[in-house]
Amino acid sequence: MKKFLLVIFIVIINFSCGESKLKPQTDNSINSEEIPDQESKKAKITFTESGKLKAILYSDVIKVLGNKNEKYLEGVIVDFYNDKEQKTSRLTSKKGRVDDITQDMYAIENVIAKSDSGVTLTTEELVWKNKSKKIVTDKFVKIVSDKEIIEGYGFESDQGLRNYTIFDITYVTNVEKK
């Protein structure tokens, strides 16, 4: 009787330990192409032209993904400099990316650009073109200065926010000085 019970016990153990229960679980929700090859935290990228400082980018996280020729950023701050290497403006955004080929920087979500001359730009997306040193967007923008508030769609400016154009203005008001 003991041998019979032992054989039944071994058969039950054999069937309960099938191959499907030993297989490790895999998470199919993660795309392997989205896993970064490199990741940096509290990083800094310096942009220069002919040895002159043009911009410094600070990011909480920089991710480099395979062969996409882009860096993905989280928690972005960019300081822009003029020809005399003096800081002229600061741009902040929640996210962004840098095209490794053109060195253009895309600021995305809660974008705020402030110049040293007192102009503040807010939008949801902005592109800093490295070659022309211009800031452009086709999204809604709001400009606040000590003289006026302007809102509209589409924007182009030098990186110091001194000479700017809003292409489709939807609102303008003068600011009263106190």
**pLDDT tens for each residue of 153-177:** 999 998 888 899 999 999 999 987 6
Predicted model pTM: 0.76
Report yes or no: 53 and 81 within 8 Å, Cβ to Cβ.
Answer: yes
- Give the pLDDT score at 28: 75
Q: Is the dihedral of CA 37, 41, 44, 47 positive or negative?
A: positive
Q: Which helix (H) or strand (E) holds 81?
A: strand 70-81
14 CB-near residues (< 8 Å, 6+ apart):
none
The CA-atom distances, in angstroms, between 63 and each of 66, 89, 107, 158 are 10, 25, 15, 28
- Give the pLDDT score at 18: 57
Q: Which helix (H) or strand (E) holds 80?
A: strand 70-81
Q: Which helix (H) or strand (E) holds 19?
A: helix 19-22
Identify the segments of the chain with pLDDT beneath 70.
Answer: 1, 13-22, 32-33, 177-178
Looking at the chain, the whole-number percentage of residues with pLDDT higher than 90 is 54
Residues in the chain: 178
The residue with tokens 């972005």 is: 76
